[in-house]
Amino acid sequence: MKVRATQAIMECLLEQEVDTVFGYPGGTILNLYDELYNYQDRIHHILTAHEQGAAHAADGYARSTGKVGVCFATSGPGATNLVTGIATAYMDSSPIVFITCNVTEQTLGKDAFQEVDITGIAMPITKATYLVRDAQTIPDVMRQAFAVAATGRPGPVLIDFLKNVTFPSVEIDYEFVPWSRNRSCSSIQSLATSHELKAPEPNKGDIETLVEMIAQSKRPLLICGGGVVRGRAHRQFREFAEKLDAPVAITVMGGGGFPGGHPLTTGMIGMHGSQASNVACNECDLLIAVGCRFSDRVALQPETFASQAKVVQIDIDRSEIDKNVLTDHHIIGSARRVLEMLNAKLPQYSHPEWKEQVLPLRVPSVAETGDKLTPKQVLETIRRLAPQDTIVATDVGQHQMWSIQHFHFDYPGQLLTSGGFGTMGFGLGAAIGAKLGNPDKVVVHTTGDGCFRMNCHELATVEHYHLPIITVVFNNGTLGMVRQWQNLIYHQRYSETTLDRGPDFVKLAEAYGLKGFRVTSMAEMEAAFQEALTAGRGCVIDCRLDMDEMVRPMVAGGAHITDFLLK
C-alpha cells in the first residue's frame, strides 16, 4: 500500500520491535520528528541534553538489554556530535542504528547550511553506512541496517536520509513485515547469501584440535572477553570453565561474562590486572581467549605475552586473529556456538596443583585505617547496600578501574563501560539508557570529577524523565589516571591535571532538581547511599578523596605483564 516515506521509517522501527528512541531534533530531521508525533503512543522518544548523550544512552540501552539501540540526530553539528558515541559503540561492538537527515538533493555538495558528509565521516567507525536518495529503498535499507547491526560481530550502523526523501508529499509502496519474518526479505537474504550476516559455523576439525590441546595441558588459563558478553554466551562459558577446572581472567569488556565472585575467577588481566591473572598468564601452558582481541591494555608486550603457553583465540571476527598476538590455534565462530561444541566433547578435568599455584595470588581484602574516605570504602558500601543485580555504568579513569576491581559482575549488561575507546562522558548517558531499558533494576553511575564535567548536563534528562539513577563522583580534584602516570612515569610533573575549580556538585544536583550529598567518611557514604536508594529520584553523591589515591596494581604500557610498577 502507499504510505508517506516518513511513515514507512516509523513502521520499519516497529517491525524491529523498537519502542525507545534517543535523540535531538533539528532542521533537516523535522519531517521525521513530525511523523514521530503520530507514533508517540508506540515509540517512546527520549530527548537528551546533547546528541552525544543520546548516542551513549542508545549504547547503554543496547548493552544492557541485548537489543539494538536507536538514535536520531539532525545534519551538520547534530550529526558530528554523534561521532564520539558512534566510535565508542564501534570499538566495543555495540549494536546501534543511528538515523540522521541531511540537506536536500538539490543543495547536496554545495556547502548548504548545516551540511556535512556524515556517511563519509562515519564510514571507518561503523559496520555500514547508507545515504538514502531514493525513498523507495527505505524498507530495504532499514531492514538491512538492523540486521547488520545485530548479527555477526555487532556494531553501529548509520542511515542518512536526504531531506527531500522525507518530504510529506513523498509516498512509497510499503508492506509491514514483522520482525519474525524479516530474515525472509529479499534484501536480507541477499546479504545473508554473501555471508555478511552469518556467523561462521565453527570447523569441527578445529574443535577437535582444541579438545586434544586441552587434554595435554597441565596449566590452562581462560580469558573471558567482550565477545562472551556480546554473544550472551555466559552460561556456556561458565560450563566450559568448570569442566576445565581452569582459572579465569576477565578483560574490562568481559565483565559479566563470568561471575566475578566465582572460585575460579582471578580478576582483571592486563595493565591494571590482578597479580593472579597476570602471573597465571605468564606461567600457563595453554591460554584460551574467548571473544578477546588482545588489545594493548591486555597484551601490553605482545612478543612476550603468554610466552610459555600455546595460545588459542576464539573469535567471531576473522580479522582479529593474529592481529595483536600470534596464535598457535584459533577457531572462528560465535562464542556461544564454539563453546557449545566444546562442552559436548569435554570430560571433567581437575587441576588442583595449578589452581593452588595461582588462586592464592588474588589480592586479599586488607583492612583500611585512617580518617580519609577511600575508593575501596565507597565501592564496598555500594556493593553491600545495593541489590546484587545492580547495573553499574562507569566513565573512564581511576574510578572505572576501581569499580571493575571491587564489584562482582555476574551477568552480561551489568557492567557498562567504554573499554576500547575510553570515552570520558560515556557513563551518565549509558546509565540513562540502561535505566530506561531495565526500569526494575537499580542503576549506579560511577564517575570522576573530570569525567562528570563532560556529561553532567544530562542530569536534566535524569530529572525530566524521573530516572532514579545514583551518580557517585570520585572527586579527587584531579584527572586521577593521568596524574597517576605523571607521578609514576613523568617524574611528578603535574602538567594541567589539577582540577581546582567548580562546580559544587551538590549545588549542581540541586539546580537540576535532584538530591545532592557530600561525603568525607565511610559513615557519611553509607547514610547517603542508603537515602539515595529510597529517594525515588536521581541523586548525586560527591565523595571527597585524596588526590594521590592510585589504582593498584599497575603495569606500564609496553612492559612485560608481570613487571608491576605498583602491586
- Euclidean distance between CA atoms 29 and 51, whole angstroms: 13
- Can you tell me whether residue 395 is helix, strand or coil? coil
Gap between the Cα atoms of 244 and 499, Å rounded: 48
Give the H/E segment covering residue 434.
Answer: helix 426-437
- Ramachandran region of residue 294, left (φ > 0), alpha (ψ -120 to 50) or beta? left
Matching residue, cell 608481570: 562
Out of 113, 218, 308, 510, pick the active-site residue: 113
Of 163, 310, 355, 515, the active-site residue reads 163
For β-strands 96-102 and 157-162, DSSP reports them as parallel
Q: Residue 113 catalytic? A: yes
Contact 547/483 with Cβ under 8 angstroms? yes
Q: What is the helix, strand, coil percentage profile of the chain, to 5? A: 40, 20, 40
**Residue 475 β-bridge partners:** 544
Whole-number Å distance between alpha carbons of 383 and 375:
12
Respond yes or no: is residue 258 known to be catalytic.
no
H or E stretch covering 466: none
Among all chains, which residue has been given the C-alpha cell 562464542?
335
What grid cell was written down for 402? 576501581
Place of cell 577457531: 331
Q: How many CB atoms lie within 10 A of CB 60?
A: 32
Say which of 91, 268, 271, 481 is annotated catalytic: 481
Separation CA 149–CA 529 (nearest Å)? 37
- Active site (annotated) includes residue 481: yes
To the query of whether residue 163 is one of the catalytic residues in this protein, the response is yes
Query: Which candidate in 11, 35, 51, 458 is catalytic?
Result: 51
CB 515 within 8 A of CB 497: no
Q: For residue 121, what is its C-alpha cell?
A: 565521516
Q: Give the integer Cα–Cα distance in Å for 444 and 383.
A: 10
Residue 341 falls in the annotated catalytic set:
no
Annotated active-site residue in 67, 114, 196, 213: 114
Number of helices and strands in the chain (H, E): 22, 22
- Bridge-based pairing of strands 554-555 and 539-544 is unpaired
**510/393 Cα distance (integer angstroms):** 22
Show which residues are catalytic. 51, 113-114, 163, 481
